[in-house]
Amino acid sequence: MLPRPQSVLLGLVLLGLAGASSAVEAQAVLHGRVTDAAGTPIPNANVYVNETAQGVATDEDGRYRLTSLSAGTYTMTVSAIGFQAVKERLALEKGETRAWNVSLTTEVVRQDEVVVTGTMRETYVKESPVQVDVVGTDRLQQGRASSNFMDLIGSVGGLTTQLNCGVCGTNAIRVNGVEGANTAVLIDGMPIMGALASVYGLNGISPSIIDQVEVIKGPQSTLYGTQALGGVVNVLTKDPANTPTLSTHAYAKSTGEGSISLAASPEADRVKGFVSGTAVRMENDFDDNDDGFSDTARRSRLALFGKGTLSGPDGERRASVAAKFYGENRTGGPPNFTDDLRGSDVIYGESIYTRRGELMAEAWPPGLDRRLRLSGALTYHDQDSYYGTEHYVGTQKIAFGQATWNQEVSASLRVLAGASARYDVYDDNTPATATAEHRLIPGVFGQGEYAIGALTVLGGLRLDHHEEHGLVTAPRFSAKYRPTEATTVRASVGTGFRVVNVFTEDHAALTGSREVVFEESLDPERSRSVTVSLEQIIPFGANPLTLSIDGFYTRFSNKIIPNYDRSPNLIVYENLDGFSVTRGFSVGGSQNFTSIPLTYNASFTVSDVYTQDAGRRRSVTYAPDFTGSFGATYTLFPIGVEVEYAGRLTGPKRMPDYYVESFGRDRWSPTHATHDLKIKKEFLDVSGPTGIGVDTYLSVENILNYTQGSPLVDASAPFDRDNDGRPFDTIYTWGPMVGRTVSVGVRVNVR
């Protein structure tokens, strides 16, 4: 059983903000629906009030709601990717509630989404000098059903999820082949996930709380700290101003997994709230690959989230507070292994208890025109795990604070400056941490963005102080050239720096029967990166095709890569004498059709990830040579059914040599693909007289039932470290573990 949260924190979020808000005169409310010319809802369209900088994104039904608008006349802008923006002047009276529906027409010009990650301020994709990929929740969940963010993020081009354990199912995000620990995962722009969370905490991010995900491939250490060597994935949570009053989502899978999410959006004067809870249970055992171990881990998960926002008299955002609790019990092993056998030396099993709490806040002090932003976060992560007889207990506490000043100096020049401090306390029971580690990292950063004609340049520098390593610099330079509305060229260069904690980032250091050896005191990893991108919009009448080509190159020094090949009983960690390189290119495209109700997106990435050590070049293990993703949505208007397809392609990965030499396994994994299909049907429209929307779906994941077979080596002797030089291991992982899965789900929204 999962313990209750230690406090009713989520409820206090809203009550605290309500107490800080004084009563105001009755405000106007503007609501409606954004559709295309055929009447199809447009999710994630932006509805923006120019005079107050207040805005919301439409939900998956194309609906929006703006409240706390004072009486007056406003310029409203509605925009969406692939559509021509609409501007209209609206006069609102005191206390008025008005319905305003907007129909958008397709256009060659695109990129009208609002993003924040590339420059740490709100801007449009097309205006940002940094390439930002925006992924909405509809795209994330295309073709499949899941309550786990990690099950969905692999649909983004260039991103893959690497399964790090075939028994307990932990995983990490790779960006363009770079190891998962080099990817900074942010929540609402705050780097609070930490090393423990990068392995165990990402599964606790429920899609029900996500508004959109912004992805930057390449160096971002200047703004987001020295951990962002390979890229940034910023998860932006829902805006309470644009969520249904009540909503629920439930599904059941043929594997035995079930999930239910409940959410409510209370509102009082200028205070708006969003409270959500998701419970997942999977207690079914099955062993289709006949290795004696269940093909997927059993798990019980509870995720709670609450967010409250306070608006100013003109509807502008003044403050927000969010809190999150995540608890999970995860158990993997033979079907007869239970948590009562944790630590058993007779039956090998893995049991992981995770408890995590987060509290985040941000504020824009009045009278400064939102130039000053104050933000902070507190997190607590507790891990209690058994990997066979290996007991691992780890805790990580993070306090983060940041202040930024955003100033428009002139029509061409904008500067941003800030200061941050991160205090990290980490403790575990491994030999690497004799006493708790306390690490304070203060930093200052600044950047300037200058636009002249079609050219925009951005330069920035960050200075962080590490007690062990002194002053660390992280410069970056970006440029955008946009000679026409249809052509955009971007380039970025930057550096990165990362302190590694092996036992939190590399699951192989704990699982299986290998011993861990440190050849030396590990120095921080450093990187230098270059990315170049071209985006071209090709007109096809009213159906423009957006084509993107990206190139990337990252060179790591002091790279720490586990050596599985020194000895079959050891994992050896040391800094490379040479260097490591990740390089490659990607091609992507997306298109919306008007003559037929079809949209699609596709991407293909080729990467070369290798190390050069003592004159010997070797491919890095588990880094695929290429990846691809494809998604399409087709609407059958006569019967109101939407059909979604999603496919993922993964190229060969080099596996550790000892699998080849000791077990006769293949040195390279095969190229493989998975295919998902979802059929959705709306039975009640939330815009109807009842204000209730109901839709159901049926999804079939991994349609062709493709699996990799057993990820375990020598599963018959999990406790034998000698065993003729053939140790038990759990990480011969390269493909799907679970075959064809059928899911049935229902969503209900009440306005």
Strand pairing of 54-57 and 86-92?
Answer: unpaired
Query: Is the pLDDT confidence value at 608 over 70?
Result: yes
Q: How far apart are alpha carbons 514 and 508 in whole angstroms?
A: 8
> Given pLDDT bands bounded at 50, 70 and 90, which one contains residue 83?
confident
Token duo for residue 387: 């990997």
Residue 586 buriedness (CB in 10 A; 0-12 / 13-18 / 19+): buried
Min mean pLDDT across 102-116, 354-368, 661-675 is at 102-116
The dihedral over CA atoms of 534, 540, 542, 548, expressed in degrees to the nearest 10, equals -20
Q: How far apart are alpha carbons 352 and 328 in whole angstroms?
A: 8
Residues above pLDDT 90, as percent of the chain: 37
Q: How far apart are alpha carbons 2 and 663 in whole angstroms?
A: 40
Question: Tell me, what DSSP letter sits at residue 41?
Answer: B
Min mean pLDDT across 231-240, 331-340, 569-578, 734-743 is at 569-578
Q: Is 11 domain-assigned?
A: no
Q: Is 569 domain-assigned?
A: yes
Query: Is the pLDDT confidence value at 5 over 50?
Result: no
- Residue pLDDT, tens place only, 609-641: 998 887 889 898 889 999 999 999 998 877 879
Per the model's pLDDT, the better-predicted residue between 182 and 590 turns out to be 590
Per the model's pLDDT, the better-predicted residue between 269 and 688 turns out to be 269
Residues above pLDDT 70, as percent of the chain: 83
> Given pLDDT bands bounded at 50, 70 and 90, which one contains residue 233?
confident
Q: Is 55 domain-assigned?
A: no
Phi, psi of 480 (to 5 degrees): -130, 130
> Given pLDDT bands bounded at 50, 70 and 90, which one contains residue 4?
very low
Give the pLDDT confidence score for residue 113 in this predicted structure.
60
Q: Is 177 domain-assigned?
A: yes
Q: Please state, in angstroms and as integers, the Cα–Cα distance from residue 222 to each residue in 188, 194, 225, 315, 476, following that order.
A: 17, 18, 6, 32, 6
The C-alpha angle with vertex 567 and arms to 566 and 573, in degrees rounded to 5, equals 50
Give the pLDDT confidence score for residue 106 in this predicted structure.
67
Closest CA to 310 of 300, 301, 320, 302: 320
Q: Is 376 domain-assigned?
A: yes
**CATH code (residue 615):** 2.40.170.20
Residues 6+ apart with CB under 8 A from 706: 672, 673, 674, 735, 736, 739
Min mean pLDDT across 107-111, 138-142, 480-484, 499-503 is at 107-111
| Mean pLDDT along residues 56-75 | 83
* Sequential DSSP letters for 61-90: TSEEEEEEEPSEEEEEEEE-TTB--EEEEE
SS3 9: helix
Phi, psi of 224 (to 5 degrees): -115, 15
Q: Is 47 domain-assigned?
A: no
Q: Is 295 domain-assigned?
A: yes
Token duo for residue 607: 């990467």
Give the pLDDT confidence score for residue 280 in this predicted structure.
95
Min mean pLDDT across 150-159, 393-402, 693-702 is at 150-159
Give the pLDDT confidence score for residue 101 in this predicted structure.
92
Residues making up the chain, counted from first to last: 751
Q: How far apart are alpha carbons 304 and 302 in whole angstroms?
A: 7
Give the pLDDT confidence score for residue 22 in this predicted structure.
38
Domain count, the chain: 1
Q: How far apart are alpha carbons 671 and 676 in whole angstroms?
A: 17
Residue 6 buriedness (CB in 10 A; 0-12 / 13-18 / 19+): exposed
Min mean pLDDT across 78-82, 144-148, 464-468, 543-547 is at 78-82
Query: Is the pLDDT confidence value at 466 over 60?
Result: yes
What residues does 646 pair with on adjacent strands?
631, 676
Q: Is 73 domain-assigned?
A: no
Domain that holds residue 131: 114-750
The dihedral over CA atoms of 166, 171, 174, 178, expressed in degrees to the nearest 10, equals -70
- Residue pLDDT, tens place only, 415-459: 999 999 999 898 888 766 778 888 898 999 999 999 999 999 999
